[in-house]
Structure 1
């Protein structure tokens, strides 16, 4: 796999030489310190404290090809250091959900260091006056919730994720057909895990009054799914809602309000009824969380966010996540400095509290510093 991936990257790079290319990307450096509760140490199989260093280079060229085609590409190289020996000895980068083939490989590893590379986007896109076609590994982001998106069938991110800022790509063929100025129909075919599953999904979007509406449906791993989303204004506040029914599971629901109270103050409240989650700690599906197939394990989640602009280039944010069933909570903060148009720095952390088997009581306390340089 490693040799195949290197040959594929070299072939793509060679094909770019004769074509108009727009190259952009970033270099990200992350320093993080994590401390687990004793129960979390037993569950995740690691030490009580852990120091991580991550250096990520992400290249995102766009290549214009003959026939009005565009090649969309995102290639990453990640160097990860862990203070605990042998923590990185497990297989690197298992195949992610909604991907058909594995396009990641390990370049180097020892007891403390692992270097991996992979293709996170690799697709051909063709735009028409009536719509758009795209084939390959691509970003398909559905949903209107600020923190949770149950109708995002293609690799949503957890709200407490701090090391990853990009959603993983999905291997798919997608067609978007414009029905009007504010309306379209999108169809997606997604083969997964070497063709073990053949997922299909659609989203119809339209507009009514001040609200954007969407109706979604899918068959995912042979499980039927339908849902609705709405986003618009409720008085002076923004209102968002997602409703999802999955065959054999309880209904998922997101309700959210956000408001710009003053030029410098912004607030948000969001409730998530997780149809895949459980109300009792002994029923939590931690394996689904580890595999990336779930972003929460609890049934009823509440989020409160408050953001203050200290300066046009400096922003302070606090986010409180609470499991309403086991009463555990996770509180995060972020101080973001936009140093230049091409550089940002983030100082942040997470503190958890709860019983030893609760959702957030098992997650680690985190302190991190993250910097990113764009080009």
Structure 2
């Protein structure tokens, strides 16, 4: 007997085949192909407070992005991410090859080209989807990004594609194997339903979102099944005076304990404001109701979190200021921490536009507090990144 989950997967495959079949039969005799991407050189120095233990890592990163206009209503996208790693982490991390071989999604689209004691090269297809767009209707099938977040750092409404803020080198954010359907009845109002494939009901996500506008506020409501929980949520984005005001709230309740008092809220709210001198200020607060103390701090900070457990503490705060020092140079200083745990992270950075297609980034992540003392011997991270886009 075929399980209901397998029936859903079969339906997903049929939808994908039908979309592809219709696109092939389209009367348009040719299609447009757009190719772009970049090459990045990222160097990282990790050291202790005394600078007596210095470690170096290097990543050479290439990204290829392709977008195919198959016909009037059909588009296909495929993006490939490849990275060559060497340095301290490769030399001193057992099982690193298996980590990069494993794809967190339903389909395994990650592989390692080679792995030695000195270097490792891997690739991952993080976008691979067919889209049908016709007036107010949009259908996307395949590996895609379903972004429901409103706030800057933490996103309890972002059920499908949450991301780790400190993973700054992955600007595109991970994709998810899913089917999404959206209907837009105005520029600010829409309804969207998404289904993330999983091997079981407890590994799947089925949820919907309604977006609308009220009194100059963009408001959204979410509801659905999130892994082993039922979830309800809301989010907003608007202004209080000249200051931007955003927020998200989600409630998660275990489905196997539906009539017990076992649910929790996760919420975040943030403000942003531009001063008359051009200084841009941001602030954000987090209440992380699903906090689990069993996670390892460093890996939790740099890997995509679950929507119901967004941080390594019960509470969090983020403060940030950015300023355009020169038409080609911008500076940024951020602080991340917690009210209930000894966590304080300083994030200074400078971005320089060298040419129209070459950018230089200098960034540090300085991890302070007792939480990190037993987690790492090198809590001061310094990055140098050169990026060429084409």
| Change in CA separation of 1:104 and 1:225 when aligned onto 2, cut-off 3 Å | same
Identify, as 1 or 2, the structure richer in helix: 2
| Change in CA separation of 1:302 and 1:142 when aligned onto 2, cut-off 3 Å | same
The answer as to 2:188 corresponding to 1:188 is no
The CA deviation at 1:291 is 5.9
State the distance in 1 between where 2:153 and 2:313 align.
15
Q: Tell me the TM-score normalised to structure 2 length.
A: 0.82
Deviation by residue 1:10-57 (Cα, 9 ceiling, x = unmatched): xxxxx9xx74211011111100112368xxxxxxxxxx6531101111
Unmatched 5+ stretches in structure 2: 1-23, 25-29, 254-261
The answer as to 2:240 corresponding to 1:225 is no
Aligned match of 1:323: 338
State the distance in 2 between where 1:366 and 1:78 align.
20
The CA deviation at 1:365 is 1.4
The answer to whether the Cα contact below 8 Å between 2:163 and 2:305 also exists between their aligned partners in 1 is no
The CA deviation at 1:89 is 4.3
The answer as to 2:161 corresponding to 1:147 is no
The CA deviation at 1:372 is 1.3
Aligned match of 2:42: 30
The answer to whether the Cα contact below 8 Å between 1:137 and 1:169 also exists between their aligned partners in 2 is yes
Aligned match of 2:84: 79
Q: Tell me the TM-score normalised to structure 1 length.
A: 0.85
State which drifts further: 242-251 or 132-141.
242-251
Aligned pairs for 1:1-375 within 5 A:
19-35=31-47, 49-66=54-71, 68-83=73-88, 85-87=91-93, 89-90=95-96, 91-93=98-100, 95-97=102-104, 99-193=105-199, 197-247=203-253, 248-278=262-292, 283-286=293-296, 289=300, 292-294=304-306, 295-356=310-371, 364-375=379-390
C-alpha RMSD of matched pairs (Å): 2.6
The answer to whether the Cα contact below 8 Å between 1:226 and 1:245 also exists between their aligned partners in 2 is yes
| Change in CA separation of 1:339 and 1:262 when aligned onto 2, cut-off 3 Å | farther
Unmatched 5+ stretches in structure 1: 1-14, 38-47
| Change in CA separation of 1:178 and 1:311 when aligned onto 2, cut-off 3 Å | same
The CA deviation at 1:162 is 2.8
The CA deviation at 1:194 is 7.8
State the distance in 2 between where 1:22 and 1:185 align.
29
- The size of the alignment, in residue pairs, is 346
